[in-house]
A and B are shown apart, each in its own frame.
Chain A
Amino acid sequence: MTTLHYAFADTLVLAKRSLLRIPRQPDLLVGFTVQPIMFVLLFVYVFGGAIETPGFDSYTDFLIPGIIVQSMVFGGFVTALGLSEDLKKGLIDRFRSLPMWGPAVLTGRILADVGTNAIQLVIMFAVGIAIGFRFSNSVPEIVFGILLLFLIGYAFSWVFAFIGLIASSPEAANAYGFTILFPITFISSAFVTTETMPDWLEPIAEANPFTTMVDAARALFLGTPAGNDVWGAVLWSLGIIAVFAPLSAWRYRQSVTR
């Protein structure tokens, strides 16, 4: 048996563990299913009538790619909470005393996130389609768009892994995640067009990588002009991984050898 074999096997064992807990923790289950649906319905039916989105058939078409990218970003949240909990409760010590492939503690979590992202995607697209969202692009581009969503989700899993490792408690991880990332997702083109924002805010929103990612998803699902957004989104995601994966690995080593 090679190291590579064990790397895969151990990652799978720990991914399974992360996934098993979701249906058993009602708050997580609600977070993954009810909450995104609620967001879609609130935005479409409460704000939708008041928000102008020139160039789109409906606000639903405009919103769904944006809100799906947001849910991909926050899909990694469970990683932050889970890692922070494991560190606090001594479970990481148990794992480290086993002859397993060490990094699986992180990669298992992140693989589980890919699984939860897939579940969220299915739910969100189903709700979107039920309330009138329609893809209007070729199949290969739609497929590429879905792959891009997974890449974005994967990138932010590493961000959340890092948050989970620097937070002193699961509650603190929660606070970091929401106070930092939540506004970032809102100061973007996800829910409104950036032209409607004040002059000083518009350039910030335009420069926000989250705007690039949302615009890329729209271009791929709806055929809107892409510009450099698609490659921009890919590069941003890879950049985030390149920074936060090593940072998380470093921080993990720091926190466990105390």
Chain B
Amino acid sequence: MARELAIEADALEKSYGEVRALCGVDLRVDAGTVYGLLGPNGAGKTTAVRVLTTLLPPDGGQARVAGHDVQREPKRVRERIGLAGQYAAVDENLTGFENLEMVGRLYHLGRRRSRERATELLAVFDLTDAGRRLVRTYSGGMRRRLDLAAALVARPPVLFLDEPTTGLDIRSRMVLWDAIEALVADGTTVLLTTQYLDEADRLADRIAVIDHGVVIAEGTSDELKAQIGGDRLEIRLDDRERGEAALAALAAVADGRPYLEDGSLRVPLQRRRGEIADAVRRLDEAGIGIEDIAVGRPTLDDVFLQLTGHAAEQDEAEDVREEAVGRR
């Protein structure tokens, strides 16, 4: 049986004057999965989302979302998607309830259904008590939750989340992550853009790494990590002078050659049971003392660094500061 694709993009191109935001992006997202679009600021993530949500006509290529062409049948697409953007797109001068009711009416759910849905969603996002208050009294995290709730009003089968947690504190991120996981469990397809590697790692079934408008890597989180190697044992010795002896002692344990880096031993692992205990025993038998031992897994940060030549999360400190200011 053919897989059902919720999002299908072919050779999408978009330029803003001289700047080429998308240079031929292909995406395939299976229905009922979470797809992470990972990349630094200005990589083209938001432009891709704007094209897929019918907000922006592409200069070239085509895209189908929920079975409809974004350019030929934008209205059909809009009936089947929800969008929560980078900035909480809610009306500050309305209450939380009024915001959700308005969105329901604009999805043409009718007055009664819109109100019922608003009440339900406020409860889901722990905003029932705040529902009668004007949104301008909300914290940053509450606004994002309301924004996500607004994207869910019509129970869209395909949900676009453009950096849903950028600038949020850890607690609010956790709440949003739980909500997203619950949605996917119910069969919603989610396309998520993020600069946070841990977010993509936790939520996404598949990830596309995008930089300068091009998809430079695609796969599951594990596949991406496997591209730059598997797990490894990192051992710091009591006596640095005995590094060579330790390498000799561990040669039989390692998958490949163990090596020294920054004064620590790096031992590529074969992923078999008792491997770590075996390594410790061999060092003990050779009379080599261990100061510290840890299993290192390559993170998506390592993947990112390797693929793009620059780190992904350089803006994080700034975002956290903005959030602190925003909540005051």
Residues of A within 8 A of B (CB): 1, 6, 9-10, 13-14, 17, 20-21, 24-25, 89-91, 93-100, 256-258
B20 within 8 A of A: no
Give the CA-CA distance A91 to B54 in the complex, in Å.
15
Give the CA-CA distance A6 to B94 in the complex, in Å.
22
**Are the CB atoms of A20 and B54 closer together than 8 Å?**
no
Chain A at the B interface: mostly helix, strand, loop or mixed?
A: helix
Residues of B within 8 A of A (CB): 16, 50, 53-57, 75, 78-79, 81-83, 85-94, 98, 102-103, 105-108, 134, 150
Give the CA-CA distance A94 to B134 in the complex, in Å.
19
CB distance from A237 to the nearest CB of B (A): 30
Give the CA-CA distance A89 to B90 in the complex, in Å.
8
Known: A1-B108, A17-B102, A99-B108. A91 touches B91 (CB 8 A): yes
Q: For B85, what are the chain A residues with a Cβ–Cβ distance below 8 Å?
A: 90, 93-94
Best-buried of A17, A20, A94, A257 by chain B (most CB within 10 Å):
A94
CB distance from B111 to the nearest CB of A (A): 10
CB distance from B148 to the nearest CB of A (A): 12
**One of A6, A95, A99, A258 near B16 (C-beta < 8 A):** A258
Give the CA-CA distance A90 to B90 in the complex, in Å.
8
**One of B57, B75, B90, B105 near A91 (C-beta < 8 A):** B90
**One of A13, A25, A258 near B105 (C-beta < 8 A):** A13
Known: A24-B134, A90-B86, A258-B16. A99 touches B107 (CB 8 A): yes
CB distance from B31 to the nearest CB of A (A): 20
**One of A10, A24, A93 near B106 (C-beta < 8 A):** A10
**Are the CB atoms of A20 and B107 closer together than 8 Å?**
no
**Are the CB atoms of A98 and B78 closer together than 8 Å?**
yes
Give the CA-CA distance A14 to B105 in the complex, in Å.
10
Q: For B57, what are the chain A residues with a Cβ–Cβ distance below 8 Å?
A: 257
Give the CA-CA distance A79 to B242 in the complex, in Å.
76
Give the CA-CA distance A168 to B46 in the complex, in Å.
21
**Are the CB atoms of A98 and B90 closer together than 8 Å?**
no
**Are the CB atoms of A13 and B90 closer together than 8 Å?**
no
